Amino acid sequence: MKPNTLAFIGGGNMAAAIIGGLIKSGRVPGSILVVDPGE
């Protein structure tokens, strides 16, 4: 089964901490998307 994509609006300190934890827990990095809120 293909994992769902998880998106973050903004890549600040909070997003970086959450994403780091997700990757350490086994989340596939390619299933995480970070977008700039200004675009």
- Residues 1-36 have pLDDT tens digits of 456 999 999 999 999 999 999 999 999 999 999 999
Evaluate whether residue 24 is within a structural domain: yes
Cβ–Cβ under 8 Å, residues 39 and 12: no
For the whole model, what pTM was predicted?
A: 0.81
Place of tokens 């890549």: 11
* pLDDT value of position 2: 58
DSSP the chain: -PPPPEEEES-SHHHHHHHHHHHHTT--GGGEEEE-TT-
Evaluate whether residue 12 is within a structural domain: yes
The residue range of the domain holding 15 is 6-35
* pLDDT value of position 3: 64
Evaluate whether residue 1 is within a structural domain: no
Q: How many domains does the chain have?
A: 1
Place of tokens 């596939």: 28
